[in-house]
C-alpha cells in the first residue's frame, strides 16, 4: 500500500538522517512504495507575520487574550497543582 511522508522545508537534516536509517535512503523508500515530498512553509506570508505580531502585542499588553470558541484562552503561567511532579507557578518556556 503506497504511503507518503511530507516534510516541511524548514526542518533540519536530522529528519533526513532518520529516514535514511529507517528506510535505507531513497532507494529503500522506493522499494517500500513510500513517496517523499517537501511541504511549503508559511515563511513570510503576510497573514503569518500579522498573527505573530498580534500574539506579541497580546502578551505585552496584559489585556485579556483572544480565543476562538467558547472555552476561552489558556493560562500563561501554570496555576497551583496544574503540572505533574509538583512543578507549579513557572513561567512558560521561551
Q: Is residue 31 part of a domain?
A: yes
Contact yes or no for 23/29 (Cβ under 8 A): yes
Enclosing domain of residue 10: 1-62
Task: Give pLDDT tens digits for 2-18.
Answer: 555 555 555 555 666 66
Cell triple for 52 = 505573530
- At 94 the pLDDT is 58
Q: Is residue 91 part of a domain?
A: no
Q: Nearest-CA neighbor of 30 among 61, 3, 57, 60? A: 3
Q: Is residue 14 part of a domain?
A: yes
Q: Is residue 87 part of a domain?
A: no
- At 53 the pLDDT is 92
The domain total for the chain is 1
Predicted TM-score (pTM) of this structure: 0.42
Residue ranges of the chain with per-residue pLDDT less than 50: 1
- Identify the residue whose cell numbers are 500563561: 76
Contact yes or no for 78/87 (Cβ under 8 A): yes
- What does the DSSP 8-state code read for residue 1? -
Amino acid at each position: 500500500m503506497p504511503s507518503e511522508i511530507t516534510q516541511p522545508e524548514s526542518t533540519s537534516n536530522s529528519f533526513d538522517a532518520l529516514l535514511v536509517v529507517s528506510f535505507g535512503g531513497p532507494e529503500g523508500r522506493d522499494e517500500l512504495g513510500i513517496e517523499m515530498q517537501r511541504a511549503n512553509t508559511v515563511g513570510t506570508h503576510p497573514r503569518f507575520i500579522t498573527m505573530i505580531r498580534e500574539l506579541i502585542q497580546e502578551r505585552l499588553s496584559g489585556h485579556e487574550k483572544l480565543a476562538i470558541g467558547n472555552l476561552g484562552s489558556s493560562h500563561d503561567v501554570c496555576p497551583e497543582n496544574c503540572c505533574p511532579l509538583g512543578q507549579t507557578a513557572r513561567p512558560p518556556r521561551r
